[in-house]
């Protein structure tokens, strides 16, 4: 009985050792099959960069029509009030001629020349008025216009027709177009005048103060992050990666800087790979694992 028990214990031990060895071999196989970690790599591509110039101004209605008194007389009736929405051709007020003591003449009716909102009503019923007195002001609803000043240093770096972004104090954002730049500056201030158009928006209101981000000094080229360029002995280098996935310190010629990016004018071609993260331990000829696309 003792003999059979000893044989059973021996068999269990041998089976456990065999199973552990198999698991170890399997684990080792998995470890050997793991690929080396990939390195962060970027591909040089042509892009457009620009500087931002900030200008400020207040939103004005694109159209503002003052309706004047056509002839002397007395205000017979006023059909509108401030803040009211009116359509083109809608009656605003009428005038009874001053010399019409027997009411033989039809009243003169003044109608809206544009559709929009009544901004000002400067007359009341029975007011005595003269020809060419201002009576009613209507502002259009087709959008806003904004005039702003820009220095002579930056005036000719902007492009007429380019799209711009404006920010209100309340945090709203609207997009518009630069439609004009004055041919001459204000000779007292030295500033050129810029005119912008913005569409009508529920997020903004007439008279609101806005700041405009104006792209200027646009340029196209190959841009890399400035911190990836290293300086040695007064020259600049970029860690490039050849077809054999080896590191090579390539001398480059730098152009202007745009924020965190610098333009590479010489030494780098479109489509070439370069190291996108530096550790400070890079060496010429080091192997680099390029991520698969």
Q: Which fold has domain 64-140?
A: OB fold (Dihydrolipoamide Acetyltransferase, E2P) (2.40.50)
- pLDDT tens by residue, 114-129: 999 999 999 999 999 9
Q: What is the mean pLDDT of residues 59-75?
A: 94
Residue 217 binned pLDDT confidence (cut-offs 50, 70, 90): confident
Note if the pTM is more than 0.75: no
Per domain, the residue ranges of the chain are: 41-49+220-275, 52-61+142-219, 64-140
Average pLDDT, the chain: 86
Instruction: Give the per-residue pLDDT at 193.
Output: 96
Please determine, for residue 19, whether its predicted confidence score (pLDDT) is greater than 90: no
Domain 52-61+142-219 indexed as CATH 3.40.50.720: no
CA distance 266 to 280: 23
Please determine, for residue 108, whether its predicted confidence score (pLDDT) is greater than 90: yes
Q: What is the mean pLDDT of residues 93-114?
A: 87
- pLDDT tens by residue, 142-178: 899 999 999 998 999 899 999 999 999 888 899 999 9
Task: State which CATH number among 3.40.50.12370, 2.40.420.20, 1.10.510.10, 3.30.230.70 fits the domain covering 41-49+220-275.
Answer: 2.40.420.20
Residue 290 binned pLDDT confidence (cut-offs 50, 70, 90): confident
Instruction: Give the per-residue pLDDT at 13.
Output: 44
Please determine, for residue 37, whether its predicted confidence score (pLDDT) is greater than 60: no
For 157, phi and psi rounded to 5 degrees?
Answer: -95, -10
């Amino acid at each position: 009985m003792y003999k059979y028990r000893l044989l059973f214990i021996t068999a269990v031990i041998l089976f456990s050792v065999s199973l552990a060895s198999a698991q170890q071999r399997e684990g080792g196989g998995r470890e050997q099959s793991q690929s080396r970690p990939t390195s962060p790599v970027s591909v040089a591509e042509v892009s457009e960069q620009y500087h931002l110039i900030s200008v400020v101004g207040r939103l004005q209605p694109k159209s503002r029509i003052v309706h004047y008194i056509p002839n002397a007389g007395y205000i017979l009736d006023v059909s509108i009030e401030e803040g009211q929405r009116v359509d083109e051709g809608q009656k605003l007020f009428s005038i009874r001629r001053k010399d019409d003591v027997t009411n033989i003449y039809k009243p003169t009716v003044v109608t809206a020349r544009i559709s929009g909102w009544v901004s000002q009503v400067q007359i009341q019923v029975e007011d005595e008025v003269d020809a060419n007195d201002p009576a009613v002001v209507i502002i259009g609803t087709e959008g806003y216009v904004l005039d702003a000043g820009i220095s002579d240093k930056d005036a000719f770096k902007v492009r007429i027709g380019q799209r711009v972004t404006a920010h209100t104090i309340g945090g709203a954002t609207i997009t518009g177009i630069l439609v004009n730049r004055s041919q001459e500056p204000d000779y007292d201030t030295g500033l050129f005048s810029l005119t912008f158009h913005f569409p009508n928006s529920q997020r903004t209101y007439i008279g609101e103060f806005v700041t405009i981000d104006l792209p200027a000094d646009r340029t196209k080229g190959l841009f890399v992050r400035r911190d990836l360029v290293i300086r040695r002995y007064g020259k600049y280098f970029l860690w490039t990666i050849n077809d054999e996935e080896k590191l090579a310190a390539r001398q480059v010629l730098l152009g202007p800087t745009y924020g965190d990016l610098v333009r590479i004018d010489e030494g780098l071609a479109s489509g070439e790979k370069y190291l996108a993260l530096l550790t400070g331990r890079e060496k010429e000829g080091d192997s680099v694992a390029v991520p698969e696309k």
